[in-house]
Structure 1
Amino acid sequence: MTDLRTGVAAAHAPPAASPAVPLLRRAVPAVLAYAAVRALGLVVLAVWSAARGKSALTLLTGRWDSLWYTRVAELGYGYQVRLPNGDVHSNLAFFPLLPWLERLLHALTPLSYAHAGLVVSLVASLAAAAGIFAVAEHVYGARVGVCAVLLWAVLPVAAVQSMAYSESLFTALAAWALYALLTGRWVGAGLLAALAGLTRPVGGAVVAAVWVAAAASFVRDRSAARSDGARSSTRAPAHSTVRRLLGVSLAPLGAAGYVLWVGRRTGKGPLGYLDVQAGWRNGFDGGYAFARFVAEKFTSFPAALAGVGLIAGVALLLWLYVTGVRRGQPLELLVYTGVVLALALCASSYFGSKPRLLLPAFPVLLPLAAALARLRTSRSALVTVGLAIVSAVYGAFWLNGSGPP
């Protein structure tokens, strides 16, 4: 039978973690391994950049979205750029938690706003690694937890995890919110979901996970109450119900609060944030624009190879997601991952940004992590080292070229 709280088949239950060893201590090997992989990426980036006469620090803190976050931290909201084609790029498109943390760290230390953003991202990436381990260990065991962290560290666009971007901060909040859900910590999950909603628009994925998990738990409790009415009236379930309701109520406050504030700031009501995103040519079209973008790649032979690669990449993501469903991955993870994938793949945003928008969808890596964990330690280490080298080289090449938009 399948455990409705976690959605994990009893036959595939993970090895029980030792209660004598705190979770954060169990996560240390995974976090250290993650730090080593990312350190390799930064070293390769520094060497590559120096060879090209560029500053690796500038690439990590002073280009693309990093500049927008820094400007919000330093000057607040209200800055916008009008492009020759009439599009308006407003910094209201950027959610406030990362700039708030940049401003706080700048006030407490000698760091500039940009360097403060980098420190926040680096620390958040370690917290994200620990959160990913916690989720994977809870579902599949410690060995899979370590492998999941390493796979997240060696993704082709993992360099973004070490930039002054909000992906690492969001992933950390999302991962720990999901772990809170998996372990029945409803208030903590709600608070973390609210913070995630202040970090990126995709914070709605965490809110959805909280709401669906709470609804499923209410259904389970009602079923249990019908089968055992005597115990359904005890105080513990009542307290649990209050905590669930509080978590459900807290979860959307971050995203909803910022969106409503933007609507008031722009004078356009609840839809004001959508207008801001439209100025960046961002929207949700069900994947039509992305499909057209891929189709256009087949108009010439060299570009057709990129089109084939894009189709293969999307197919792999969908296959991994379906594999998670078939293997009984917890409902919380499936809801969260499904929303992240849908928002990333079906949005009409700049297509070069889609790989980094997929970074928070770490549960999709769990089937691969389980496969890697089944290998002998020497073989899995060899695979991981090879992927780490490829990821480091690609990250250095990428950031010294077009980079993440």
Structure 2
Amino acid sequence: MIGPVTDLATPVAAPRPRPSWRRAAPALLGYAAVRALGLLVLAVWSAARDESPVRLLSARWDSLWYTRVAELGYGYEVRLPDGDVHSNLAFFPLLPWLERAGAALSPLSHAEAGLLVSAVASLAAAWGIFAVADHVYGSRAGVCAVLLWAVLPVGIVQSMAYSESLFTALAAWSLYAVLTGRWLTAGLLASLAGLTRPVGAAVVAAVWVTAVASFVRERGAPAGDGAPRWRRALAMLVAPLGAAGYVLWVGHRTGGGPLGYLDVQAGWRNGFDGGYAFARFVAGKFTAFPSALAGVGLVVGVVLLGRLYAAGVRQRQPLPLLVYTGTVTLLALCASSYFGSKPRLLLPAFPLLLPLALALAKLRTSRSAWVLGGVAVASAVYGAFWLNGSGPP
């Protein structure tokens, strides 16, 4: 079936089969094939430069910071000549914890354990994306959604020792739990997502807004069995515990109080400025002709994001998806962080791909395969070029 089965206020869609491995197998096999292609192209490209693809995936940029947390714990920092302080307290702990566990239970190094975590988490994320899309729009759209997520230009990040795959897996399954009325599971997964990245607030928001909407919808209705309401209330309590616990711990450790984590992020020149810094960055691209082309591309990209979100609203995506996607997109675009990382920060916003997945699902299988195959090749080449470049993703 192709078409929405839920309205904006209803968290539970019409019954569908449980998200078994067998039902998700086409999506997972397709996802694995795309990722294998990306890694193969990366290996060939890196070999031509006498570079190690394993090092590129596990021992550069943010992955180094996660590994240091896993090996040494928190407290490491770098003081730059301009006075900025880069502290590893900026990095949330779930991925380093898993890296430490992987290194303790296997012969893998902490960096190699990070690659293993990302590999497993990326498959879990693909399965979760399929489960959400299948639940709302059907299995064909679910397969297309997973493959679209796999062929994103920054898809190589899904195979790096970064936290994006782990976070997307937790977020997708938390959203699926909300959609299917498994509130305690949703709250627990939201809490774990909050231990993974600051954008875990988006998952918490999806749980909270959907639960509140359900309470408002039930106002004045017979109470009936109080257990569902009790579970929703407990989910709302549990969901923010991960993020809140870590942020408060950082504030206590630094002596900065409840807002101490913001001071740590300020040392990295990260913050939320409503998009002012990003707007200035884009505007600055129009001062000369070559860079103006990049400026046009950035404007087109932002407009495309808005159109995709608007399409999701028109197609009446369920409320938790709209809240989650809107929050992830807002935090990514309105953060004053390194601008080259914004495509990566948008990687968890997979519901933005659902309108495109629906369009692909309506095509013949052969035609959609050609489209996705061509984009997969381009994505693999771009990922290899990007990762062998000089700037962090």
TM over 0.5: yes
Match of 2:377 in 1: 389
Verify: 1:285 aligned to 2:273, yes or no: yes
Instruction: Describe the superposition over 1:273-298 as per-residue Cα deviations: whole angstroms up to 9, x where unpaired.
Output: 00000000000000000000001101
Distance 1:2 1:94 in 2: 36
CA distance in 1, matches of 2:10, 2:360: 22
Residue in structure 2 matching 1:131, options 125, 128, 133: 128
What is the correspondence of 1:102-141 to structure 2 with a 5 Å cutoff? 102-141=99-138
State the Cα distance separating 1:327 from its structure 2 match.
1.2
SS in 1 for 2:218: helix
Equivalent residues in 2 for 1:167-206, closer than 5 Å: 167-206=164-203
What is aligned with 2:156? Answer: 159
User: Unpaired runs of 5+ in structure 1?
Assistant: 226-231
AA partner of residue 266 (structure 1): T
**Amino acid of the structure 2 residue aligned with 1:390:** A
- 2:35 corresponds in structure 1 to 38
- Equivalent residue runs for 1:3-402 within 5 Å: 3=7, 5-6=9-10, 17=16, 19=17, 23-223=20-220, 225=221, 232-234=222-224, 236=225, 238-402=226-390
Please state whether the residue corresponding to 1:81 is helix, strand or coil.
strand
Report the CA distance between 1:55 and its aligned residue.
Answer: 0.5
Counterpart residue type for residue 245 of structure 1:
A
Report if aligned partners of 1:5, 1:182 keep a CA contact under 8 Å in 2. Answer: no
Query: How many angstroms does 1:23 deviate by?
Result: 2.9
In structure 1, what residue type is equivalent to 2:262?
Answer: L
Residue 204 of structure 1 aligns to a residue in which SS?
helix
Structure 2 CA distance for partners of 1:278 and 1:39, relative to 1, 3 Å:
same
The runs of 4+ residues in structure 1 deviating greater than 6 Å are none
Could you tell me how far 1:6 is from its partner in structure 2? 3.6
| RMSD after superposition | 1.5
One-letter amino acid of the counterpart of residue 240, structure 2: P
Q: CA deviation at 1:251?
A: 0.1
Given that 1:198 and 1:258 are in contact with CA atoms closer than 8 Å, whether structure 2 keeps it comes out as: yes
Q: CA deviation at 1:233?
A: 3.9
Query: Counterparts of 1:240 and 1:403 in 2: how far apart (Å)?
Result: 49
**Identity fraction in percent:** 78
Question: In the aligned structure 2, how far is the partner of 1:403 from the partner of 1:80?
Answer: 21
Deviations 1:23-51 (A, max 9, x none): 33211211111000000000000000000
Give distance in 1, aligned partners of 2:60 and 2:126: 25
CA distance in 1, matches of 2:390, 2:324: 30
Relative distance call for 1:310 and 1:22 in structure 2 (3 A) is closer
Deviations 1:325-375 (A, max 9, x none): 111011000000000000000000000111100000000000000001110
C-alpha distance in 2 between matches for 1:239 and 1:308: 53
1:228 matched to which residue of 2? Answer: none
Q: Secondary structure at 2:269's aligned position in 1?
A: coil
> What is the deviation of 1:220?
1.8
**Contact residue 95 and residue 196 of structure 2 kept, 8 A:** yes
Q: Which AA in structure 2 matches 1:50?
A: A
- 2: CA distance between counterparts of 1:38 and 1:152? 11
Deviations 1:74-97 (CA, angstroms, capped at 9, x unpaired): 000000000000000000000000
Contact (CA 8 Å) 1:4, 1:220: kept in 2 or not? Answer: no
Inter-partner Cα distance in structure 1 for 2:19 and 2:352: 26
Name the SS of the counterpart of 1:89 in structure 2.
strand
Q: 2: CA distance between counterparts of 1:212 and 1:198?
A: 20
Answer yes or no: is the 8 Å Cα contact 1:289–1:348 preserved in 2: yes
Alpha-carbon offset, residue 180 of structure 1: 0.2
Aligned residues: 389
Q: How far apart, in 2, do the equivalents of 1:220 and 1:25 lie? A: 36
